[in-house]
Chain A
Amino acid sequence: MSGFMGGGGHVIGSVEADNDASLIITGLDSAYDTFLIELADMMPSADAVHAWMRLGDAGGIDSGVADYGWGNNYQRVDSASPLQGNAQSYEDSSDSKMVISNGGHGVGSTAGEGFGASLKLHRPGDGSIAPIITGTYGFMTDLAIFTTGVLGGRRSSVIALDRIQFLFSSGSILSGRMTVTGVPHA
């Protein structure tokens, strides 16, 4: 399958949530060095949750207490107070997941709220560095404040990466879609 930005990107997989606790796409391999991860229209079942991402290999998804490091810089778009006061950052160098939605508050579950992100995984399945992702995200918080930010995260060890997982910190994913596309290099 092709269609990446009008070019020849290959859709590795695309899954649509229907009250699922997590979304997992497998099949990431060494045919591509970079993968795009698109998280669209994600609606949590629980209010004030965070969006998480994890990586894994043929043995399953990794969730050890020190498997990941991550950092976010975000801007809360809140007309009730100065914008400069709402730009902050969060990080954790040793965590069981990559948090990809920080903004002072969690993702809201009221109609019209929810989460979306566009991420890149900068390594082929058999790469020699510990896997790194970077990207941008946006969401409406549980206090109905739009928040947008940039993020980076890494798996703390070199693994034979073949899968990624998206989930919320609690509850399920009522609706939304995750798509992974391999970026061609030839």
Chain B
Amino acid sequence: MPRVHNIDGVRVPFSPGEEVEAEARQAEHEARNLPLEEWLGQMAESDMVLPRYVEDLFDAMLPAQQANVSKKTRDSISEKKAKRLARP
């Protein structure tokens, strides 16, 4: 869809030069945000397996208590913490 300015309520199409500049801004925006969107999607997926509150409860436990948690859950928590630190 062609881009327009709303100037005092009147729609004025972008000039060819403005279109070029807007396309460049959009490309820059998409390049910057694609890694973040991918990361957000991965974090959302991990939330379904291991919600944040489970992490918080685990963090509140003493080391000896944490050791009683299944290795699979402990590994999932470690994996999720690593993923969070890798946020773009």
Scan B1-41; emit 1 where CB is below 8 A from any A CB, else 0. 10111111101001000000110011011100100110010
Out of B6, B22, B29, B30, which one reaches A20, CB within 8 Å?
A: B6
How many B residues are at the interface, by size bracket? 20 to 34
Instruction: Please determine whether B29 and A21 come into contact, CB atoms closer than 8 angstroms.
Output: no
Instruction: Please determine whether A25 and B8 come into contact, CB atoms closer than 8 angstroms.
Output: yes
Instruction: Please determine whether B29 and A24 come into contact, CB atoms closer than 8 angstroms.
Output: no
Min CB distance B21 to A, Å, is 7
B7 / chain A contacts, CB cutoff of 8 Å: 15, 24-26
Question: If the complex has contacts A48-B36, A169-B29, A170-B26, are A21 and B14 also in contact, measured as CB distance less than 8 A?
Answer: yes
Out of A24, A63, A143, which one reaches B6, CB within 8 Å?
A: A24
Instruction: Please determine whether A63 and B21 come into contact, CB atoms closer than 8 angstroms.
Output: yes
How many A residues are at the interface, by size bracket? 20 to 34
A49 contacts B by Cβ under 8 Å = yes
Scan A1-35; emit 1 where CB is below 8 A from any B CB, else 0. 00000000000010111111111111100000000
B14 / chain A contacts, CB cutoff of 8 Å: 21
A15 to B10, CA, bound (A): 9
Min CB distance A10 to B, Å, is 15
Instruction: Please determine whether B6 and A169 come into contact, CB atoms closer than 8 angstroms.
Output: no
CB contacts under 8 Å to B, within A143-173, are: 143, 165, 169-172
A80 to B53, CA, bound (A): 11
Out of B6, B9, B36, which one reaches A22, CB within 8 Å?
A: B6
Out of A18, A19, A24, A47, which one reaches B8, CB within 8 Å?
A: A24
A46 contacts B by Cβ under 8 Å = yes
Instruction: Please determine whether A21 and B22 come into contact, CB atoms closer than 8 angstroms.
Output: yes
Instruction: Please determine whether A170 and B25 come into contact, CB atoms closer than 8 angstroms.
Output: yes
Instruction: Please determine whether B29 and A17 come into contact, CB atoms closer than 8 angstroms.
Output: no
Which residues of A come within 8 Å of B, CB atoms? 13, 15-27, 46-49, 63, 106, 143, 165, 169-172
Nearest 7 pairs between A and B by C-beta?
A170-B29, A21-B3, A20-B6, A24-B7, A22-B5, A170-B26, A48-B33
